[in-house]
Structure 1
Amino acid sequence: MKRMSVAIAKRLLWWSAWAIVGVLVLNAVAGLWMRHERLVFNDSTCEPIGLYGLLGSPFPLHDGEMVEVEIPGPAHHPAVAEGLKYRWFPAGQPWIKEIAALPGQTVTLTRSGVRVCSGASAAPCHGHHLPNSHVDRWTPGHHHRIIHYPFGTYHLKDGQVWLYAPGNYAFDSSYYGPVPEQNILQRAAPWWTIPGSQYWLKRGD
């Protein structure tokens, strides 16, 4: 009986080793295929979860366009530093976002969300409201209070863009403010995504 138990344990260990090797090989093959097809995987609920195709240079930029973005520097963006500290997202991994406003446009940020206007204005902007752009106070489960960009009206300067994502608990310019145009890496488009997955996390207050 003991000899049989040892044999079964060895067999299970052998199968486990081969399973691990198989997973590593599949991951490597999938990674090579995605690079060849110019695809990236988005696992956040900022945008629908799934694969996005990278379409080359994003310039000239257009509002409403989906793009791949380099993470803003945490040294100048407290919300980004907080997100890296609590591992809300991995360091160095680009994001998929939408361009909400370009240089010359005006953005008004309030607790209830973001409004975008064309042209400069010192007064609050009453242009179009970005859907589901309410600024969250807490992370899911109320574990951490979320740092957000100061509420107010901002006229975007040359070289600045305002990023937006429509999902629940989306981490966009409402939290770290406008980002430099140079952070925009490529245009992007959904390739295969799960519709509605950007709303899987249920919002609190």
Structure 2
Amino acid sequence: MTGHRPFTFDTEFDDAGAVAYQPPRQKRSFTPEEVETIRAAAYAEGEGSAMAAAEMDLARAMDRIADAARQGLGALAQVAHAHRSDAAHLSMAAARKIADSALARFPEAPVTAALEALAREVEASPRLLVKVAPEAQVRVQAALDGMASSLGHSGRIEARAEPGMTPAAFILDWGDGRASFDPVDAASRIQTALDEALAAEGLHAEPLIALEPTHG
């Protein structure tokens, strides 16, 4: 048994017998101009679809490039920060070596520099007491004796050995005041300040290499 297919009328008539609806006839032949027009429209539609797909691919590629650039810049900032930290710590280590060598050679230098800076404070004091490391006492005393006249200090200046003190460290006491210096403690404070500055700087410092302006 075959299935039934509904019958459709090509033309419909009204009650008076006039044509109420007539479907448009399909065109079966075309002129060369019409064929060219249809071909051009189809080509333009296909080209538009291809351009849209290409633009979408380009947009996705640009997004991937931007993500890669962001990741690369983040990694570069980390490398730059590590470089700054390493360079700063290397400079600090070199400075400490130089300072230690200079202080070992001239242990009297810190206390004489302090006395020159405090000349007005100590000039009226009848007695100055400077505590220093035992191995630096002789050199410090000789330096203090040589400075007394240039400082205008008429009182006594005594360098006293203090066991346990770091070479080049001193404690200066003039009765009305006191000053001290410890190279180990000073280096530790400088190191702490350097570490805090690097930590605060983080990854937001200026670039290591200044970019040249581009000229269009």
Scaled by the length of structure 2, the TM-score of the pair is 0.28
Q: Which has the larger share of helix? A: 2
Scaled by the length of structure 1, the TM-score of the pair is 0.29
